[in-house]
Amino acid sequence: MLLHLITWLEVEAYLQKSQGMILPIGSTEQHGPTGLIGTDAICAEAIARGVGEATQAIVGPTINVGMALHHTAFPGTISLRPSTMIQLIRDYVTCLAKAGFTKFFFINGHGGNVATLKAAFAETYAHISDLNLANAQLVKCQVGNWFMCSSVYQLAKELYGDREGSHATPSEVAVTQYIYPEAIKQTPLSPEVASGHKIYGAADFRLRYQDGRMGSNPALATPEHGKQFYELAVKELSKTYLEFLNVE
């Protein structure tokens, strides 16, 4: 069930049987010469919807702008500051907790969100406690990074080896090709691709990773691969979500 396609009466009825919600979160950032700028949000949203269908969970609106400040030297990237993202997550969860939700499972498509999400959860717990909500002690948040699912990681290694890289990867590009085959992009890619540099500011990132890739070869991606990654992620994260619902 997609939150934006149901009514408050349906939400009220749902809360009688479950207090869990799935929230997809990604990023709007450059993904190299052939990766869509919306890659991280596209992947998170599609997989979250699949998990929602498999588990009969409500899926909230996609948070499609994340913490991507280091990509902002590339045109098209939009980023939140960590402090802004923390407040956004806090406000989302607080509103939903007031309604009766207690388990918030964020399906994440962007590695740059992870640290800020963890900080946001800590801020949210403190904020909800300060508000003295009746269910404050029951509120729990968890991140499921689809690209870190063990089955997804193993398939990426089998298909691409060390050419998977760590950004603008063939695995994530493959998922977008499966979801949006009409938007597949192709352009010649240099066989030389930077990797191994630490991430600092946006200007330094662009200097080190001139075409936006980080050790990856997205030309290896296919829609067929994307379907495999999608199905593996949905299966693994559905299991993880149901286990999370039972955490006391």
The pLDDT tens digits for 84-119 are 999 999 999 999 999 999 999 999 999 999 999 999
Tell me, yes or no, whether 130 lies in a domain. yes
51-76 burial string, b = 16+ CB within 10 Å, else e?
A: bbeebebbbbebbbbbbbbbbbbbee
Our count of domains for the chain comes to: 1
Asked, for residue 196, whether it belongs to a domain, the answer is no
Q: State whether residue 155 is helix, strand or coil.
A: helix
Of the candidates 70, 63, 57, 53, the residue with the CA atom closest to the CA atom of residue 26:
63
Identify the CATH number of the domain in which residue 119 sits. Answer: 3.40.50.10310
DSSP E strands in the chain: the ranges are: 20-25, 58-59, 103-108, 140-145
**Residue 154 forms part of a structural domain:** yes
Encode pLDDT of 66-81 as tens digits.
Answer: 999 999 999 999 999 9
Average pLDDT of the chain to the nearest whole number: 98
DSSP-derived letter for residue 116 is H
Assigned domain for 215 exists: no
Give me the pLDDT at residue 103, please. 98
Domain extent, residue 71, equals 3-159+230-245
**Contact criterion met (CB below 8 Å) for 24 and 48:** yes
pTM, entire model: 0.97
pLDDT at residue number 248: 85
Q: Across residues 23-52, what is the average pLDDT?
A: 98
Cβ pair 36, 183 in contact under 8 A? yes
In a domain, 40, yes or no: yes
Query: In this structure, is residue 32 part of a structural domain?
Result: yes
